[in-house]
Copies of this chain bind each other. A is one copy, B any other.
């Protein structure tokens, strides 16, 4: 009740200030819309485009996510900034191409680099506006103390510092060089994750911590970031879900993640907060396909994680905010993880970072106006700052590059990966994603004008990003977030 009254007062002040007295009458008859809504951001790990029921999952269901999709909007053309873990997370937190920040690939344990503490994250911007900020799950932007979430705007952190396949006792991969993998509470290492039984408690632990955060912060605006460490390998589920799905362990894990989302949405409802909460559900990159039955599905898009094809970059995006974001809508406008920061900042009345960002705000689209096109262009990197592809609308120009392919070699089984898929030479190709979402038909000969236009865009991107990186870090990529140790 206190919170609602505060919100009504805030809303009225805003209405009077911005729009004059004429609007007050209509504000009174409408339900109050919070000027500072709560924000819940789910970020799955290696979950592909096709891994929800609403995007075609086989042999298991995701009823809570399906309901979220039905009650909110789904964005079918949503891309991550780089199809690898740490780089993708850097983009989400800062609104920048990760190359601008010197983060590429996936950081290992004891990484000398991390997200530069000088960068302003979404958590910092919201904290400045009075939000309570919590992260529960996988950070993966540097595991040294100076890089951990508490140094990046979060009040609370409980989770794993990097991927949970990076542990010395890993059952399927030689990992002897790694230190023990431990839960981190705030800045402090806690309990070790020793085996798959321990790993089977990751999803429920993250969920519990998130629920507690909501309960403790129900009387002020909060930003809850839930980067679930699964369905990244090694797959592990709690006893309640293990062995239940016809899809095998991957289906069990997805069912538990779906349950987790259901728990959190349910808690919002229970606390009477769900109408004033913007909930976003996305993934960090496509499926790690050479894990075969332990990998997700790219839903018909080409290739997967670690590639610049759509299967690597395109992930599900669900957004729910009752009364603000239309229910049951699907939009195919091109959007990216980098756009989350400016969009959420605008929604919450927060400022943008002082440094330049690459994201664009899509609040108008989000609210239901499908005639706006927030973003036309998208360019991204893959390994060693090579620009592998450029997109403009539905056109995608892929440059000749060496890279991994998951096609033609047998994927793994039961948690053991197939052969490492790293040495394929992809030719230069132009794809029309409207006609050919699977990127199978090279039309480079038929469309010379489009090719020139996209080549020019690529040149600008190369020059721009290189230059920015110099300015931002004053040094080279490796030193961007260099630890003082």
Contact = CB atoms under 8 A, between A and B. Distances in A.
Contact of A54 (B53, B437, B440): B53
Interface stretch (A82-90, A188-196, A409-417): A409-417
A413 B437 contact: no
Q: How large is the interface on A (under 10, 10 to 19, 20 to 34, 35 or more residues)?
A: 35 or more
Interface stretch (A56-64, A152-160, A226-234): A56-64
A107 B443 CA distance: 35
B332 A56 contact: no
A11 B343 CA distance: 59
A293 B434 contact: yes
Contacts of A331: 246
A60 B434 CA distance: 13
A330 B70 CA distance: 18
A376 interface: no
A246 B293 CA distance: 33
Given A300-B50, A300-B299, A370-B246, A60 B411 contact: no
A59 B332 contact: yes
A55 B297 CA distance: 12
A85 B168 CA distance: 56
A61 B410 contact: no
A441 interface: yes
Interface centre among A410, A413, A443 (most CB of B within 10 A): A410
A36 interface: no
A411 B435 contact: yes
Interface string A390-411: 0000000000000000011111
A58 B437 contact: yes
Contacts of A58: 76, 330, 332, 437
Nearest to A298: B300
Given A61-B330, A328-B63, A441 B410 contact: yes
A292 interface: yes
Interface in A55-79: 55-56, 58-61, 63, 66, 70, 76-77
Interface in A284-336: 292-293, 297-300, 328-332
A327 B54 CA distance: 16
A436 interface: yes
A144 interface: no
Contact of A413 (B53, B298, B435): B435
A411 B434 CA distance: 11
Contacts of A436: 292, 410-411
A247 interface: yes
Nearest to A70: B66
B293 A435 contact: yes
Contacts of A61: 328-330
23 contacts: A49-B56, A50-B56, A50-B300, A53-B330, A54-B66, A56-B299, A58-B76, A58-B437, A59-B332, A63-B70, A66-B66, A66-B70, A246-B370, A247-B332, A248-B434, A292-B435, A292-B436, A297-B437, A299-B300, A407-B440, A408-B441, A409-B441, A413-B435
Given A246-B332, A248-B434, A299-B300, 17 more contacts: A50-B56, A50-B300, A54-B54, A55-B56, A58-B332, A58-B437, A59-B76, A63-B328, A66-B70, A247-B332, A293-B434, A293-B435, A299-B299, A407-B440, A410-B435, A410-B441, A410-B443
4 tightest A-B contacts by CB? Answer: A56-B56, A300-B300, A59-B332, A410-B441
